[in-house]
Chains A and B, each alone.
Chain A
Amino acid sequence: MIAAIGRRTVAAISAVGRFGHFLQDFIRAVPDVGTWGRLTALQMRRIGVDSLPVALFIAAFTGIVLALQASYTFTGAVPMYFVGTLVGKTMMLELGPVLVGLALAGRVGASMAAELGTMKVTEQVDALETLAYDPQSYLVVPRVFAATLMFPVIVACAIGVGIVTGWLTSLQLLHLSTPDFIKGLKLFYLFKDTWFGLFKSATFGCTIAMVGCIVGLGTRGGAEGVGRSTTQAVVYAAVLILVLDAFWAVVLL
């Protein structure tokens, strides 16, 4: 029992130490713009453009459900134009960033961990080093920067789609007028609602990419190791998104 606790403690401290080293290597690689510059554009397309359909699909249905649930909750007690308020606030502050973040933790985080894990076990990462490249500059920095930059863009699009589907649902199913929906949307709106959601999504993007890269480059063994890393990347990223979400709510709201 004591030995098991000891082993887990040592493992946890080692993990913190590895993360510290990783961060140090990452910072050291940032000035190598010549390597990561053009690769970042490629990753921005892979992370951003390719993830957009999934994000918009989730946002569209979230907007519909939010409008219907708001109407169900408000009936008879609260004016119906508050449907616009709830759809707007919830999409911007919480569901847009968090649902998209969780969905992309699966898509982007898993894909990074699997790709880098495969490169690690097939010695492609070692090959990069022998060709005088820093794997951090070539593999990690472009992914982390691309995810950090593209997540707010994806989430902004998702928020927009969610609000539009919420408005269409209000129009068609709840018989709310457009001016009423917009009145509700503007009510209590603060600019902070927008930047808070987008800032949060940038931190989610950074976290998902960091976790995918750390776990991927730490892969050991063959196909089984890659599978293990992929699962770990998704689980760790999802947990960290929820923790970060609570953290930013406490600190910034």
Chain B
Amino acid sequence: MIRFTDVQKAFGTKRVLEGLTLDVPDGETLALIGYSGTGKSVTLKHVVGLIEPDAGEVYVDDVAVSTLDRAALTALRREIGYVFQFAALFDSLSVADNVALGLRRRDLHDDEIEERVHEALALVDLTGSDAALPAELSGGMRKRVGIARAIALQPRYILYDEPTTGLDPVTSAVIDQLMVRTREHTGATAIVVTHDMRSAYTVGDRIAMLYEGRIRQVGTVEEIQQTDDAVVRQFIEGRPG
């Protein structure tokens, strides 16, 4: 379970999170929606300790992330797969090496690493792309490699940072299906940061809207679609203000 309790974060004078409180139970996929620049990615980075809160706390399995030392944080990160907005693939490594990199930090035999890499690439429909370099891939393919890199670790948690941003509608739908398939395959708890409502409706068990540093509303897809909250309604309908 991932739990945010009254998390506050500011960068200089800009206050990004102002008391974020949210629970993500085991096995759930939560879609975190909100306007650009409202702190959705910042929220995700708190979970893996890339950013520390100014106040409040983030708990993963009831362990406060900000209190962990380097070794404990590394151990926690082995339980979490992170899919970056622009994939963040290593330019100098092939697709297979990118996917294998995280596995090499574990005590796995080379054969097992190779098997997991092939399995992960097959799951994202990239079988045969092992030797390609990231620069040779399209945006959608890069995102799929990013997802393969996360799921190859067989993590208990997966964090997706805007997985469909910048993609055409068809490729976005492919990525959505992939996230659903990944969940069925791994059973991992997931947070999907997005402002693509179609994606949120497809992958989310629940949807939470981040607004002005706090959760404005959280509920099932149906509850969000039928909301009376003017701010949430304007966002999900994509109406100008």
Q: Do A and B bind each other?
A: yes
In the complex, A85 Cα to B166 Cα: how many Å? 66
Given A28-B70, A132-B74, A132-B77, A126–B45 Cβ distance below 8 Å? yes
The answer to the question of B85 belonging to the interface, with a C-beta cut-off of 8 Å to chain A, is yes
| Per-residue B-contact encoding for A124-167, CB less than 8 Å = 1, 0 else | 10110111111000000000000000000000000000000000
| Per-residue B-contact encoding for A71-104, CB less than 8 Å = 1, 0 else | 0000000000000000000000000000000000
Q: How many whole Å from B48's CB to the nearest CB in chain A?
A: 5
Chain A CB within 10 A, most for which of B70, B88, B149, B153: B88
In the complex, A134 Cα to B48 Cα: how many Å? 13
The answer to the question of B90 belonging to the interface, with a C-beta cut-off of 8 Å to chain A, is yes
In the complex, A124 Cα to B87 Cα: how many Å? 9
Chain A to chain B contacts (Cβ below 8 Å), 12 pairs: A123-B84, A123-B85, A123-B86, A124-B89, A124-B90, A129-B77, A130-B48, A130-B82, A131-B77, A132-B78, A132-B102, A134-B74
In the complex, A122 Cα to B134 Cα: how many Å? 13
Majority secondary structure, B binding face? loop
Given A123-B86, A126-B84, A131–B48 Cβ distance below 8 Å? no
Residue of A nearest to B102 (CB): A131
Docked complex: A27-77 residues within 8 A CB-CB of B: 28
Residue of A nearest to B106 (CB): A132
Interface residues on B, range: 20 to 34
Chain B CB within 10 A, most for which of A28, A127, A130, A133: A130
Using a CB–CB cutoff of 8 Å, the interface residues on chain A facing chain B are: 28, 119, 122-124, 126-127, 129-134
Given A132-B77, A132-B78, A122–B105 Cβ distance below 8 Å? no
Q: B86–A130 contact, CB under 8 A?
A: no
A-B contacts besides A122-B86, A124-B91, 8 pairs, CB < 8 Å: A119-B90, A123-B85, A126-B50, A127-B89, A130-B48, A130-B82, A131-B101, A132-B74
A124: B residues at CB distance < 8 A: 88-91
Given A28-B70, A134-B70, A129–B88 Cβ distance below 8 Å? no
Q: A127–B82 contact, CB under 8 A?
A: yes
A28: B residues at CB distance < 8 A: 70
The answer to the question of B80 belonging to the interface, with a C-beta cut-off of 8 Å to chain A, is yes
Residue of B nearest to A127 (CB): B88
Q: B105–A133 contact, CB under 8 A?
A: yes
Q: A130–B77 contact, CB under 8 A?
A: yes
Residue of B nearest to A35 (CB): B105
A119: B residues at CB distance < 8 A: 90
Q: B105–A129 contact, CB under 8 A?
A: no
State which of A126, A127, A131 has its C-beta within 8 Å of the C-beta of B105. Answer: A131
A132: B residues at CB distance < 8 A: 74, 77-78, 102, 105
Q: How many whole Å from B114's CB to the nearest CB in chain A?
A: 17
In the complex, A81 Cα to B153 Cα: how many Å? 69
In the complex, A124 Cα to B101 Cα: how many Å? 12
In the complex, A131 Cα to B77 Cα: how many Å? 7
Residue of B nearest to A42 (CB): B92
A123: B residues at CB distance < 8 A: 84-86, 88
In the complex, A126 Cα to B48 Cα: how many Å? 10
Q: How many whole Å from B149's CB to the nearest CB in chain A?
A: 8
| Per-residue A-contact encoding for B21-35, CB less than 8 Å = 1, 0 else | 000000000000000
State which of A126, A133, A134 has its C-beta within 8 Å of the C-beta of B88. Answer: A126
In the complex, A192 Cα to B102 Cα: how many Å? 47
B153: A residues at CB distance < 8 A: 131
Given A28-B70, A122-B86, A123-B88, A129–B78 Cβ distance below 8 Å? no
